[in-house]
């Protein structure tokens, strides 16, 4: 077999699955072992679809590479072959045992071991969700335990690359995804957020403690119904020695409504702390631990901690009435004008190569001197800031760009009026960011206010109004408010059919959402 990209030699296949194959490889340039994942893509029926897949692959590989944590195998390279339908991720090679090997219905894990697994996964998720990256397919098969007991979470970004983050209600009942670990909002095709990963973590922790899955439907459709409607069986009915507070945590993680789950992975870690060994405590006796399996509690005998929560972004002060007037902008000379032009052209070139972070940095370098010379809310400076924010949004940096969209919305409201096009656009982008970050209540409120304003200006069937109605319906589905979701989605579907026809992709998407309302 020819080396990948002329340098990665594939020596032995490690595993194969629905998402592709993993190979033991060798990097001839840096003289080291690597893991090479060939991501299978068999849905590209046209050159356009193949190109879309290639773009999605590049974006997700770059975003995933931004996760900085020892519990995530480092991404070394992302290779796209010439046909754009086969892609390779070159990663750190991890020697470990699948978490699946720790699940035994006859001999469930010691409580401390199960808590240590979940706590390490929480630590990883706290770092990933801060990017933010949502795993979308967290399950025991995507978790390895290394020889020193360190948990490694695999395949971040793979579900997004393959769009395996939603189920497809096909005639055969074949699911795309892993039904035993899918959150209700994921099954319904609603907004996926970091709390969707927390639901999957609840499924994993329940399984580690009991030795069996949360739900055991005979078909995918039965599993979907159980995840969306059935209460999980309490752990104390399966295992008497599970502490009540640990059982409460599992039940909170498995709430149908994501807003009722723990706020974030950091909170999950804190609630697991009482069940972990204290620093310096002795190793468990041989009879207290599974034979021939690495001990995941070692990390807590030599402590580790999750990523700290980011501090709230400082509010941007608005000019006060009667306060000192802003100094008049200094006239810009041709050097500044040329610098702005060059920065925009360079950022466009970087954006064309999907180098989002660099494109944003190039603009930031010219925004500061432009604001000093022209004024912070001059049209030219606001245009540059909006351009940079849009680039960061496309690159998935939702947490970083949210305060900027909020600030831009206020600036445009002051300069163009609250109902101005750019003010509405920035508030809309801020609502998207909040939805992606799992701030569902705030996102819903913002989308509803925006929809009222857009309806008053453009009517109920404008492109923007239709998109806002769809966003609201998806978020209501995710919150398990099925009645309200139906009230939004049914008239939306009728309007889409009238405007575009029932076979249009937008109509079909909303029709699938409505079909999921019948799951329970």
Q: Count of alpha carbons within 13 Å of 281, Cβ hemisphere only? A: 13
In percent, how much of the chain has pLDDT > 70?
85
Q: What is the mean pLDDT of residues 115-139?
A: 93
- What residue segments make up the domains of the chain, in order of their start? 8-91, 96-301, 331-419, 438-520
Using one digit for the tens of pLDDT, what is the confidence trace for 481-505?
Answer: 889 999 999 999 999 999 999 999 8
- Dig out the tokens for 500 from the structure: 């575009």
Residue 107 — very low, low, confident or very high, per pLDDT cuts 50/70/90? confident
Q: Cα–Cα distance between 489 and 326 in angstroms, integer?
A: 47
Do domains 331-419 and 438-520 share one topology? The answer is: yes
Q: Is 15 a residue whose pLDDT tops 60?
A: yes
Q: Please state, rounded to an integer, the average pLDDT across all residues of the chain.
A: 84
CATH topology of domain 96-301: Transferase(Phosphotransferase); domain 1 (1.10.510)
Q: Could you tell me the pLDDT band of residue 58, with boundaries at 50, 70 and 90?
A: confident
Predicted local confidence at residue 316, as pLDDT: 47
137 is catalytic: yes
Q: Give me 255's structure tokens.
A: 């709430």
Pair 79, 4: CB distance under 8 Å = yes
Average the pLDDT over each of 140-149, 275-284, 300-309, 406-415 and give the range with the smallest value: 300-309
Q: What pLDDT does residue 45 have?
A: 53
The Cβ of residue 96 has, within 10 Å, a number of other Cβ atoms equal to 18
Residue 339 and residue 366 in contact, taking contact as beta carbons nearer than 8 Å: yes
Residues 12-36 have a mean pLDDT of: 84
pLDDT at 174 over 60: no
Structure tokens at 425: 């656009």
Vertex 433: Cα angle to 432 and 434 (nearest 5): 90
pLDDT exceeds cutoff 60 at 4: yes
Burial class for 219, CB neighbours closer than 10 Å (0-12, 13-18, 19+): exposed
311-336 pLDDT, tens digit each: 655 544 454 445 445 555 444 458 88
The catalytic residue among 81, 85, 106, 137 is 137
The stretch 338-363 carries a mean pLDDT of: 89
Confidence label for 472 from pLDDT (cuts 50, 70 and 90):
very high
pLDDT at 407: 94
Q: Report the alpha-carbon distance of residue 184 to residue 179 in Å, rounded.
A: 10
CATH fold for the domain made of 8-91: Phosphorylase Kinase; domain 1 (3.30.200)
Q: Where are the alpha helices (DSSP H) in 396-438?
A: 398-416, 421-436
Q: What whole-number distance in Å separates Cα of residue 117 and Cα of residue 104? A: 15
Domain at 438-520: CATH architecture: Alpha Horseshoe (1.25)
- Per-residue pLDDT at 116: 94
Which residue from 205, 202, 210, 203 is spatially nearest to 105, judged by alpha carbons? Answer: 210
- Of the ranges 316-320, 378-382, 417-421, which is most confident? 378-382
Confidence check: pLDDT of 20 > 80? no
149: DSSP letter: S
Q: Give tens-digit pLDDT for 255-288.
A: 999 999 999 999 999 999 999 988 878 776 656 6
Inform me whether the pLDDT recorded for 123 exceeds 50: yes
Superfamily of domain 331-419: Tetratricopeptide repeat domain (1.25.40.10)
Cβ neighbours for 394, distance < 8 A, ≥ 6 positions apart: 351, 356
């Amino acid at each position: 077999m020819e080396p990948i990209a002329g340098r990665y030699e594939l020596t032995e296949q490690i595993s194969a699955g629905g998402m592709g194959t993993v190979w033991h490889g060798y990097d001839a340039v840096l003289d080291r072992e690597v893991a090479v994942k060939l991501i299978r893509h068999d849905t590209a029926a046209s050159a356009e679809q193949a190109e879309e897949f290639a773009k999605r692959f590049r974006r997700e590989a770059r975003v995933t590479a931004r996760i900085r944590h020892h519990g995530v195998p480092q991404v070394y390279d992302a290779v796209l072959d010439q046909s754009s339908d086969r892609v390779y991720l070159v990663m750190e090679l991890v020697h470990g045992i699948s978490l699946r090997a720790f699940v035994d219905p006859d001999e469930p894990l010691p409580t401390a071991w199960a808590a240590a697994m979940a706590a390490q996964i929480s630590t990883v998720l706290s770092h990933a969700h801060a990017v933010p990256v949502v795993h979308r397919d967290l399950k025991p098969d995507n978790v390895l335990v290394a020889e020193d007991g360190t948990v490694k979470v695999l395949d971040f970004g793979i579900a997004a690359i393959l769009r395996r983050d939603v189920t497809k209600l096909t005639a055969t009942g074949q699911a795309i995804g892993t039904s035993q670990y899918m959150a209700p909002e994921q099954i319904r095709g609603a907004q996926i957020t970091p709390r969707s990963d927390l639901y999957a973590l609840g499924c994993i922790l329940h399984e580690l403690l009991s030795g069996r899955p949360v739900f055991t439907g005979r078909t995918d459709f039965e599993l979907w119904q159980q995840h969306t409607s059935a209460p999980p069986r309490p752990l104390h009915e399966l295992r008497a020695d599970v502490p009540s507070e640990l059982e409460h945590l599992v039940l909170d993680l498995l709430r149908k409504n994501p807003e009722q789950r723990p706020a974030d992975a950091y909170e999950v870690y804190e609630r697991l702390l009482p069940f972990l060994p204290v620093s310096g405590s002795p190793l468990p006796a041989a009879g207290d631990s599974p034979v021939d399996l690495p001990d995941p509690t070692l990390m807590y005998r030599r402590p580790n901690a999750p990523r700290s929560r980011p501090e709230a972004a400082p509010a941007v002060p608005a000019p006060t009435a009667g306060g000192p007037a802003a100094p008049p902008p200094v006239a810009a000379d041709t050097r500044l004008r040329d610098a702005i032009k060059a920065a925009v052209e360079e950022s466009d070139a970087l954006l064309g190569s999907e180098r989002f972070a660099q494109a944003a940095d190039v603009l930031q370098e010219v925004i500061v001197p432009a604001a000093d010379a022209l004024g912070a809310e001059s049209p030219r400076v606001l245009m540059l800031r909006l351009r940079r924010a849009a680039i960061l949004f496309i690159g998935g940096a939702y947490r970083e760009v949210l305060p900027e969209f909020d600030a831009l919305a206020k600036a445009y409201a002051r300069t163009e009026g609250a109902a101005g096009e750019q003010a509405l656009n920035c508030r809309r982008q801020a609502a998207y960011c909040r939805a992606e970050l799992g701030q569902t209540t705030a996102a819903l409120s913002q989308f509803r206010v925006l929809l009222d304003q857009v309806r008053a200006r453009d009517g109920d069937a404008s492109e923007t109004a239709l998109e806002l109605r769809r966003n609201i319906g998806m978020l209501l589905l995710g919150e398990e408010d099925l009645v309200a979701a139906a009230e939004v989605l049914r008239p939306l579907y009728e309007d889409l059919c009238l405007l575009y026809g029932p076979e249009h992709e937008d109509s079909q998407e909303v029709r699938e959402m409505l079909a999921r309302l019948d799951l329970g």
